[in-house]
């Protein structure tokens, strides 16, 4: 029997998580964007317009942060309908078979003025660990309707091939039509439950 763990019940992870505040993601004031190289010359940008999620957060104990987010794949938009249809197809996200992208955090630690959040990102049925660099975590503010809100920005990079998205076309001059590296940026606004 471990007497040290009995002598300090507040040190248990379950009790620490209980002290954290739960927030719901405000989808109307949040943004999930991505950028990918097109024809080796420019970046094409897109976004997902529908997402839901919760964040459990205590600024005095950020290591106990818990994040659970779901993104509606069919809501992908690059402002070009034919390209969006292709992105929803089995060549890329396969939205009919895998309608959601999910992110569930597994570890959080302080990193400079921000946070480093590791978690499991699942895209098209494949799960990989990714690390989000989180910055601009704001303190809570009261909105005009009496609710408490906070926000943050985050970014990461992934390789689409790591998630089984290998469709491409070779260019006559060399290179490929679609780059492999994807830059993901997030702007989130959260509402205290």
**Using an 8 Å Cβ cutoff, are 136 and 142 in contact?**
no
CA 44 to chain centre: 19
* DSSP label at residue 53: E
CATH topology of domain 20-192: Lipocalin (2.40.128)
pLDDT for 50-109, tens place per residue? 999 999 999 899 999 999 999 999 999 999 999 999 999 999 999 999 999 999 999 999
User: How much is the pLDDT for 3?
Assistant: 40
For residue 193, what is the DSSP state? -
CA 8 – CA 155 distance, rounded (Å): 37
Number of other CB atoms surrounding residue 129 within 10 Å: 10
Q: What is the reported pLDDT for 139?
A: 92
Q: What is the predicted pLDDT for the residue at 168? A: 64
Tokens linked to 121: 């990102």
| Residue ranges of domains in the chain | 20-192
Q: Is the pLDDT of residue 48 over 90?
A: yes
Cα 138 to Cα 135: distance, rounded to the nearest angstrom: 9
Q: Is the pLDDT higher at 26 or at 8?
A: 26
């Amino acid at each position: 029997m471990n007497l040290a763990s009995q002598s300090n019940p507040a040190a248990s992870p379950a009790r620490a998580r209980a002290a954290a505040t739960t927030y719901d993601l405000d989808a109307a004031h949040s943004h999930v964007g991505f950028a990918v190289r097109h024809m080796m010359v420019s970046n094409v940008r897109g976004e997902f317009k529908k997402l839901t999620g919760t964040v459990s957060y205590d600024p005095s104990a950020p290591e106990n942060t818990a994040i659970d987010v779901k993104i509606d794949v069919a809501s992908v938009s690059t402002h070009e309908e034919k390209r969006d249809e292709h992105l929803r197809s089995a060549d890329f996200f396969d939205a009919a078979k895998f309608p959601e992208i999910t992110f569930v955090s597994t570890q959080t630690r302080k990193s400079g003025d921000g946070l480093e959040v590791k978690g499991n990102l699942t895209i098209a049925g494949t799960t990989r660990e990714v690390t989000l660099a989180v910055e601009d975590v704001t303190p809570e503010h009261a909105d005009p309707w009496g609710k408490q809100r906070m926000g943050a920005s985050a970014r990461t990079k992934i390789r689409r091939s790591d998630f089984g998205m290998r469709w491409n076309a070779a260019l006559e001059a060399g290179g490929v039509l679609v780059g492999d590296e994807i830059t993901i940026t997030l702007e989130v606004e959260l509402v205290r439950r």
